């Protein structure tokens, strides 16, 4: 069964393996399979579920809400996000303006079939809306009881500090950051993590297995596995391409002896690795089959000895991306339409 951790400087506990439905629910898998995956997560003790209004253009929230129908609401932690364009793509169907936030939370709650979400997150930083306007709107969402806590995703260290300061002044808690983080992508370690510790946030990380690369299924010189993310022209292939180099794939294969020594699969090793970071509250995992949930959950509670952590670093060497500037470089510079 899964272990639980406090989220940021709050009393909220979440499951350290959190179920996420990006790229799956409402698009890649049928609704009955999605429901089976959610129920497998519940059976394994996962209580935390992450989604966003933009996933499958709102369909993912609907699928998750339907899958969780009938569960005791107080026993769940439901997270969603706002920022990216949704709906028909009108001029105000995007960003972190007060208008878009206030309208989006109502849409998310309706699709999720709940009166409130436990965590409402800014899916990116909006360069075209004053931060004061955004944080005031989030504070009002909390005061209206539509969200219990607020968080951010892929914000820089300076943005986190500024957002946390405004949240504190407004009397609400900014408690989480949701960045990409894995053995291969460590850009948060030098700046975002220290800023988060300073500001009372912890990380809920996405892509802990680097879009599937850290499972070891992609072998240099071999054909891509049929049906894998690297063959998905609807978005998966674009997301994974940064890791699909022979030098990266060769180093990843070198992690197999470490996984074997711990009695873990490669995917379990990758998930367990991110959870060794004390500032990580949870790793988000998705699934296209219920069996994947059962396998991923085995990473919970694993302690990787220091000598094996060092060996992982030695194996991966200089293919690891640690540049903190990548957080800002990968963020939208203008509001998307």
* CA–CA distance, 25 with 32 (Å, rounded to integer): 10
Active site includes 55? yes
Q: Any bridge partners for residue 284, and if so which? A: 18
Distance CA 11, CA 283 (A): 19
**Count of residues in the chain:** 337
Alpha carbons 97 and 76: distance in angstroms, whole number? 28
Cα distances from 229 to residues 128, 211, 288, in angstroms, run 33, 7, 11
Pairing status of strand 117-122 against strand 280-285: unpaired
Choosing from 4, 19, 55, 149, the catalytic residue is 55
Which residue is listed with tokens 């990968």?
330
DSSP label at residue 302:
-
- Show which residues are catalytic: 55
């Amino acid at each position: 069964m899964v272990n639980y951790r406090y989220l940021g400087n709050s009393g909220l506990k979440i499951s350290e393996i959190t179920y996420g439905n990006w790229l799956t629910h409402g698009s890649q898998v049928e609704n009955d399979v999605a429901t089976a995956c959610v129920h497998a997560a519940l059976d394994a003790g996962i209580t935390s579920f992450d989604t966003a209004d933009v996933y499958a253009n709102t369909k993912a929230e609907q699928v998750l809400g339907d899958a969780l129908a009938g569960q005791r609401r107080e026993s769940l932690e439901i997270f969603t996000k706002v920022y990216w364009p949704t709906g028909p793509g009108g001029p105000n169907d995007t960003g972190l303006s007060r208008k878009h936030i206030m309208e989006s939370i109502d849409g998310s709650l309706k699709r999720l079939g709940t009166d409130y979400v436990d965590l409402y997150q800014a899916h990116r930083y909006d360069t075209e809306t004053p931060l004061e306007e955004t944080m005031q709107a989030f504070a009002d969402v909390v005061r209206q009881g539509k969200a219990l806590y607020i968080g951010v995703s892929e914000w820089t260290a300076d943005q986190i500090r500024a957002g946390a300061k405004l949240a504190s002044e407004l009397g609400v808690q900014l408690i989480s950051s949701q960045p990409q983080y894995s053995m291969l992508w460590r850009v948060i370690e030098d700046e975002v993590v220290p800023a988060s510790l300073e500001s009372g946030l912890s990380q809920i990380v996405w892509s802990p297995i680097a879009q599937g690369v850290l499972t070891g299924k992609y072998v240099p010189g071999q054909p891509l596995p049929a049906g894998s993310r690297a063959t998905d022209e609807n978005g998966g292939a674009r997301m994974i391409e940064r890791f699909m180099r022979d030098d990266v794939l060769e180093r990843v294969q070198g992690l197999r002896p470490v996984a074997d020594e711990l009695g873990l699969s490669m995917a379990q090793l990758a998930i367990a690795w991110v959870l060794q970071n004390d500032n990580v509250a949870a790793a988000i995992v998705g699934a296209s089959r219920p069996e994947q949930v059962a396998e991923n959950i085995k990473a919970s509670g694993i302690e990787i000895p220091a000598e094996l952590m060092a060996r992982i670093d030695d194996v991966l060497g200089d293919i690891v991306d640690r540049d903190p500037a990548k957080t800002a470089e990968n963020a939208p510079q203008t509001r998307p339409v």
